Structure 1
Amino acid sequence: MDTLYQKEISPKGLSPLPLAFVGDGVYELLVREYLISQGNCPVRKLNSRKVELVRCQFQARALDRLWEGLTAEEREVALRGRNAHVGHVPKNAPVADYHGATGLEALFGYLYLAGELPRLRELFVQVMETSSETS
């Protein structure tokens, strides 16, 4: 298992929303690290770009672009996240996009907790590559 906390947690036993809770943090940390790797720039610009990349609309599109390359297990996790009853959707977020983002976050949380960091990085790189193509 390769996680920061180093306590073994079985992601298979978790509901999709706790997976998305973890995945949200993992995704944001990856975005921040990615932005810093692009070179030194003012924090205001870093934050502005980060906000674009963590928006639910962006995350939902990212899941759509990744879909064909996901394994059956990864698709199942993402679907469980996308179909989870979230209870509250922010006013500025289309419901479908919010659910899609929850699916991506659940997938990232699952991969992180399963210790599948190489696969997590691979998918994140694909997300960032497609983001630079569409920006």
Structure 2
Amino acid sequence: MMDVMEQGWWIHSPNKPVQLLNPIVLAYIGDSVFELLVRQYLVSQPNHKLHHLHKQATQFVSAKAQRVLLEKWQPLLSEEEADVVRRGRNAKSGTPPKNADTADYRQATALECLIGFLYYSKQSERLRELMAVAFDEQS
């Protein structure tokens, strides 16, 4: 089966090089890409009851869960990826939601920034590797 990203999901590319995009903009798209990848993974699993899918998804997409995942990814990141994470963590992104710890929220923004960077850099294989770690599918 052809990878979604290899099929050309970059219908509209950014108007500037990905390295020059604001980290919050990368996090904005990264949030959507991450949620899509989580949902694709969950639909690939046997239980398709909507309540179950939603409950499982929240275990990946909360600020706390994303902070934990980023900690898991940290030793695997290249220097460039670690720099993107730093930029995302240090970016001014407004106030966190009421149910999220500020530190968790900043780390979640950093993770989403990295996802957005990899997505717009068309590094689908790298994204697949990191998501395999997220889903504990390393081979």
Query: Could you state the TM-score of these two structures normalised by the residue count of structure 2?
Result: 0.88
1:1-135 equivalence runs, <5 A: 2=6, 3-9=8-14, 10-129=17-136
Q: Deviations over 1:66-105 (max 9, x none)?
A: 1011000000001100111111111110000000000000
Q: How far apart in 1 are the matches of 2:25 and 2:93?
A: 11
Check the 8 A contact 2:63/2:100 in 1, yes or no: yes
Once the two structures are TM-superposed, the CA of residue 40 in structure 1 deviates from its matched residue by 3.7
Give the percent of matched residue pairs that are identical in Structure 1 and Structure 2: 40
CA separation in 2, counterparts of 1:103 and 1:5?
22
Q: Aligned-pair RMSD on alpha carbons?
A: 1.6
Matched residues in 1 for 2:31 and 2:45: separation?
21
Output the CA distance in 1 between the equivalents of 2:10 and 2:39. Answer: 19
Q: Deviation of residue 52 (structure 1)?
A: 1.7
Distance in 2 separating the partners of 1:8 and 1:93:
31
Greater helix share, structure number:
1
Between the aligned partners of 1:125 and 1:70, the Cα distance in structure 2 is 14
Q: How many residues in Structure 1 have an aligned counterpart in Structure 2? A: 130
TM superposition shift of 1:41: 2.3
State the alpha-carbon separation in 2 of the partners of residues 13 and 7 from structure 1.
16
Letter in 1 for 2:18: P
Q: Which residue is 1:133 aligned to?
A: none
Tell me the amino acid that sits aligned with residue 93 of structure 1.
A
User: Which consecutive residues of structure 2, in runs of 5 or more, have no partner in the other structure?
Assistant: none
Q: CA deviation at 1:110?
A: 0.2
Three-state SS of the structure 1 residue aligned to 2:98 is coil
Aligned structure 1 segments of 4 or more residues deviating by more than 6 angstroms: none
